[in-house]
């Protein structure tokens, strides 16, 4: 049983990311249940999706129970921290989307080091992935969500295999499939190579 | 091929609860499907819209929920199967038609999906629409996951035809927007044509007919209760070894109850009600008699709990019933596993959770509520209105993306209750206030419920400015077409209804159409409109930035940048204007070139002409 807690900003493709996990699980013959954020919250706000692989009836992940936190936006990683326990691996994109409150209330946007420090001691650690750069290298700058799912797959925390995820990419992202598979592969290597 | 048209029976596909409902309807041979979009119901209609042509069904995004129900009634009364879907508050709009339709009953299967929104994720209230089943005497099914969404939709059509009654399928956000595997069957083509057989003593609800039909309805509800007793959706699940502790639950709460009771290692029986109105009285009585303590686990209102307490009292059963009346479970907001585990622990006298406290979100973490998008024409409109009025006006707002104007810097919403309310509210506000009154309404919302308010205002001589924020689509719910659109969802050409003509037809004497991207003209139009005695209307027309055509650089007009040499750090672009592409960090204001939609509004906002067209 694996609990994956996804966070990001509306418009980043977080639902597609969770669908990739869901279809990968189905391809692997496992039970899975996902929950999604739709509607008003999607307009540039903080968004959450959950993916629970295994024998779960309910879709929401209790505090302290996430096995993996997958974050598509650096600051949002911190909002997911209550889902952490010492067995949680956090995987965060370094992509920054500056919220309005930073501009108007002169609040500070955290650095990678500050985010990492917050996860120290309360989790298994934080992997950061330069998802936008890897997506651009793959020729699909909008596919940082695919890169991050690649990193998740590469981290070896889901109990699913690479081929299951690749099949899910084929099923969900028919446009520019070759490039998206490259984006996935770049993410996979980043997730695999990271020191935990 | 669209996923929900999967042709191989037995295939397991990953579907959203809403998509599973659409698939279930297709397998039930639905002929007509209608809706007005609203979160968390929208994807039912959107899925059917996508496949309507291939599946050979009639689908429409109706002008509002009332019309959607009426169109579906017309079809179902003729004998075909009809599905109508809406968010919970949409049922308030449709209730007038729905409650009397329960009296006439139906011929073809009629299923109304209400998607409730506990915790108000995307809604103005969290009303519990199970009360509509009780209020109208309408049988109700409550799925808890995508597979059940699919199965219960199919079954709902059967039940509807067997009883000749409409059936409510009630979901919540955590059912509608949960995605999971669904094992599908075979799609059935419903008939395209049927002949309406006249029967005025049934279908024309004059008082003499209505009085008779009410008795018919009560009679059918007794038959419905028998179906509930036999329903495969009302099941007892054993947790551990079972025992004298019981749980009665339904919908999303059943999932939390199941996971929580396993996590707590309870020895209990769990009665899950999928066919929850009318309730299976005999089955519930048997459950109450064979358990010492029964916890009723349901989100929002104590609907099941009240019924269970009433049953126990009526039959003199000494079972201990625990629920909201004891304060063990909350009456507001959605549940989760932790809330239900805490309630069950108290109910069954278990020690509370002892685990370590999870780490907390840093207190100074910048918040990120939803905002108007880069290039959003509403953002430009609000800037112009603030400029014209210096915020010395009362703003009646309405339901749509533009409600987000409530936040600073615009503060352009002072009152809001429901779809179309801005227009009526403005009339009342204007009668008793000296400040100018401005109502904001979107194009789809205007067609939905704004027109009667406008007629009323013209007739009674209310003095206010109505701004119709016409972005050519129903943006917030996913860009569905509306009566002003020239294409229907299948791409076929339809007659667009002109907002100008409707406004003129309502008798409005002062009307201007502006492009909100032109700040000067829009500001002047607002200033002039406010001098008019009576109702004035400005249509601020500009396509939603998410669907507007873009050039090869991704700009609607031209991408812009901030020339740091000319920038005087006045911060007008972030304190009086709001655009996600513009940020101010470490005293430097910049435009993110990727996020910039190229609307050019910020260049008109900057007092020092430091925002310039990119090369």
Q: What is the CATH number of the domain that holds A56?
A: 3.40.920.10
Helix axes A177-193, A131-138, angle to 10 degrees: 140
pTM of the predicted protein model: 0.97
Read off the pLDDT of each residue in B323-328 and give the average, rounded to a whole number: 96
**Taking every pair of C-alpha atoms in chain A, what is the biggest distance, in angstroms?**
49
| pLDDT at residue B105 greater than cutoff 70 | yes
pLDDT at B586 over 90: no
Whether the Cβ atoms of residue A87 and residue A158 lie closer than 8 Å to each other: no
Terminal Cα distance for chain B, rounded: 42
Q: Which two tokens stand for residue A160?
A: 């699913």
Structure tokens at B335: 């549940």
In this predicted structure, the answer to whether residue B354 has a pLDDT above a threshold of 70 is: no
Domain with CATH 3.40.50.920 in chain B: 234-347
Region of B529 (left: φ > 0; alpha: ψ -120 to 50; beta: rest) is: alpha
Query: Does the beta-carbon distance from B585 to A103 stay under 8 Å?
Result: yes
pLDDT tens-digit series, residues B505-553: 999 999 999 999 999 999 999 999 999 999 999 999 999 999 999 999 9
H helices of A42-130, in order, are: 74-79, 100-104, 112-119
Residue B67's pLDDT band (cuts 50, 70, 90): very high
Q: For the domain bounded by B3-230, which CATH number is listed? A: 3.40.50.970
**Tokens found for residue B220:** 């059918």
Q: Which helix (H) or strand (E) holds B510?
A: strand B510-514
Is A39 within 8 Å of B121 when comparing Cβ atoms?
Answer: yes
Residue A195 reports pLDDT greater than 80: no
Q: Which of B531, B511, B512, B507 is nearest to B459 (CA)?
A: B507
**Which pLDDT score, from 0 to 100, does residue A40 have?**
72
Place of tokens 């209105």: B385
Task: Using the predicted structure, report yes or no on whether residue A1 has a pLDDT greater than 70.
Answer: yes
B386-424 residue pLDDT tens: 999 999 999 999 999 999 999 999 999 999 999 999 999
- The confidence score (pLDDT) of residue B51 equals 97
Minimum distance, in Å, between the CA of residue A65 and any CA atom of chain B: 9
Asked if residue A43 has pLDDT above 90, the reply is no
Determine the topology of domain B234-347 in CATH: Rossmann fold (3.40.50)
pLDDT in tens, B226-249: 999 999 999 999 999 999 999 999
The answer to ipTM > 0.85 is yes
Asked if B122 has any chain A CB less than 8 Å from its own CB, the reply is yes
**Across all residues in chain B, what is the average pLDDT?**
97
Please list the residue range(s) of chain B that carry CATH number 3.40.50.970.
3-230, 377-541
Give the Cα separation of B257 and B242 in Å (integer): 14
- A111 touches B at CB < 8 Å: no
Interface test with B, best of A58, A74, A97 (most B CBs within 10 A): A58
- Given a contact cutoff of 8 angstroms between Cβ atoms, the answer to whether B132 and B114 are in contact is yes
A30, A38, A77: which to substitute to probe chain B, counting the most B Cβ within 10 Å? A38
If contacts are CB pairs under 8 Å, which of residues 21-50 in chain A contact chain B?
22-23, 26, 31-46
Q: Do A9 and B372 touch (CB under 8 A)?
A: no
Instruction: Tell me which architecture the domain covering B560-613 has in CATH.
Output: 2-Layer Sandwich (3.30)
Mutation choice for B interface testing from A39, A106, A108, A160 by most B CBs within 10 A: A39
Q: By the 8 A CB rule, do B337 and B260 touch? A: yes
Domain count, chain A: 1
User: Is B580 in Cβ contact with A97 (below 8 Å)?
Assistant: yes
Q: What is the pLDDT of residue B351?
A: 85
Spatial contact of A30 and B354, defined as CB atoms under 8 Å apart:
no
Contact B121, A37 (CB under 8 A): yes
> How many contacts (CB atoms, under 8 Å) link A and B?
174
Out of 3.30.10.20, 3.40.50.80, 3.40.50.970, 3.40.50.300, the CATH code matching B377-541 is 3.40.50.970
* Beta carbons of A58 and B362 less than 8 Å apart: no
Please state whether beta strands A46-53 and A2-9 pair in parallel, antiparallel, or not at all (unpaired).
Answer: antiparallel
Whether A196 has a pLDDT exceeding 60, the answer reads no
Interface contact A34-B180, CB threshold 8 A: yes
Contact (CB<8Å) A35/B174:
yes
Expressed as residue numbers, the domain containing A160 is: 2-193
Is residue A194 within 8 A of residue A155, CB to CB? The reply is yes
Burial class (CB in 10 A: 0-12, 13-18, 19+), B511: middle
């Amino acid at each position: 049983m694996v609990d994956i807690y996804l966070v990001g900003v509306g418009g980043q493709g977080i639902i597609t990311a969770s669908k990739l996990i869901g279809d990968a699980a189905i391809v692997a013959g496992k039970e899975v249940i996902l929950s999604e954020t739709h509607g008003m919250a999607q307009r540039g706000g903080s968004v959450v999706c959950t993916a629970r692989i295994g024998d779960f009836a309910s879709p929401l992940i209790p505090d302290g129970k996430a096995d993996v936190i997958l974050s598509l936006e650096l600051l949002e990683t911190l909002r997911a921290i209550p889902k952490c326990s010492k067995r949680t691996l956090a995987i965060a994109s370094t992509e920054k989307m500056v919220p309005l409150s930073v501009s108007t209330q002169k609040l500070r946007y955290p650095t990678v080091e500050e985010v990492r420090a917050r996860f120290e001691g309360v989790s298994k650690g934080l992997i950061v992935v330069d998802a936008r750069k890897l997506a651009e290298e793959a020729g699909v700058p909008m596919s940082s969500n695919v890169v991050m799912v690649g990193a998740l797959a590469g981290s070896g925390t889901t109990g699913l295999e690479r081929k299951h995820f690749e099949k899910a990419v084929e099923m969900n992202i028919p446009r520019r499939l070759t490039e998206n598979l490259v984006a996935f592969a770049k993410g996979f290597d980043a997730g695999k190579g990271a020191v935990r | 091929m669209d996923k929900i048209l999967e042709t191989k029976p037995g295939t397991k596909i990953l579907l959203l609860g809403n998509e599973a409902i659409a698939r279930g309807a297709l397998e039930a041979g639905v002929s007509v499907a209608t809706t007005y979009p609203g979160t968390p119901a929208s994807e039912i209609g959107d899925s059917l819209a996508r496949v309507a042509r291939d599946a050979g069904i009639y689908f429409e995004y109706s002008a509002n929920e009332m019309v959607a129900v009426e169109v579906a009634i017309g079809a179902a009364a003729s004998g075909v199967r009809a599905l109508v879907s809406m968010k919970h508050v949409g049922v308030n709009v449709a209730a007038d038609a729905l409650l009397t339709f329960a009296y006439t009953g139906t011929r073809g299967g009629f299923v109304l999906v209400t998607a409730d929104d506990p915790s108000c994720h995307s809604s103005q209230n969290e009303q519990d629409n199970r009360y509509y089943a009780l209020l109208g005497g309408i049988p109700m099914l409550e799925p808890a996951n995508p597979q059940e969404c699919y199965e219960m939709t199919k079954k709902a059509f059967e039940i509807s035809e067997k009883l000749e009654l409409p059936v409510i399928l009630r979901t919540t956000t955590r059912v509608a927007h949960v995605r999971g595997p669904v094992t599908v069957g075979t799609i059935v083509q419903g008939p395209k044509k049927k002949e309406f057989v006249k029967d005025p003593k049934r279908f024309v609800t004059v008082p003499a007919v209505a009085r008779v039909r009410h008795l018919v309805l009560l009679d059918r509800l007794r038959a419905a209760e028998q179906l509930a007793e036999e329903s495969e959706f009302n099941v007892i699940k054993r947790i551990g070894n079972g025992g004298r502790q019981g749980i009665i639950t339904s919908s999303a709460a059943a999932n939390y109850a199941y996971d929580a009771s396993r996590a707590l290692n309870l020895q209990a029986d769990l009665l899950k009600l999928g066919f929850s109105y009318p309730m299976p009285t005999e089955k519930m009585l048997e459950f109450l008699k064979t358990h010492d303590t029964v916890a009723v686990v349901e989100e929002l209102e104590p609907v099941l709990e009240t019924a269970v307490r009433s049953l126990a009292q009526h039959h003199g059963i000494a079972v201990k019933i625990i629920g909201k009346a004891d304060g063990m479970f909350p009456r507001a907001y959605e549940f989760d596993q932790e809330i239900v585990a805490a309630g069950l622990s108290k109910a069954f006298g278990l020690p509370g959770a002892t685990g370590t406290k999870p780490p907390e979100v840093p207190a100074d973490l910048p918040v990120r509520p939803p905002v108007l998008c880069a290039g959003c024409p509403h953002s430009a409109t609000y800037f112009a209105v603030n400029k014209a009025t210096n915020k010395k006006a009362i703003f009646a707002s309405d339901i749509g993306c533009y409600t987000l104007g409530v936040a600073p810097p615009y503060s352009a919403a002072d009152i809001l209750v429901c779809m179309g309310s801005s227009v009526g509210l403005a009339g009342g506000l204007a009668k008793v206030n000296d400040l100018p009154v401005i109502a904001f309404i979107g194009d789809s919302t205007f067609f939905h419920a704004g027109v009667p308010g406008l007629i009323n205002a013209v007739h009674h001589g209310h003095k206010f400015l109505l701004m119709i924020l016409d972005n050519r689509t129903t943006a917030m719910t996913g860009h569905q077409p509306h009566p002003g659109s020239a294409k229907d969802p299948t791409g076929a050409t339809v007659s667009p209804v002109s907002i100008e003509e409707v406004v003129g037809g309502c008798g409005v004497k002062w009307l201007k159409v502006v492009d909100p991207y032109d700040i000067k003209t829009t500001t002047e139009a607002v200033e002039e409109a406010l001098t008019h005695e009576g109702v004035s209307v400005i249509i601020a027309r500009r396509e939603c930035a998410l669907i507007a055509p873009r050039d090869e650089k991704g700009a609607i007009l031209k991408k812009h940048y901030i020339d740091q040499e000319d920038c005087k750090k006045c911060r007008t672009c972030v304190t009086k204007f709001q655009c996600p592409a513009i940020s101010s960090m470490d005293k430097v204001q910049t435009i993110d070139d990727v996020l910039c939609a190229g609307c050019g509004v910020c260049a008109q906002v900057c007092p020092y002409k430091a925002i310039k067209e990119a090369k």
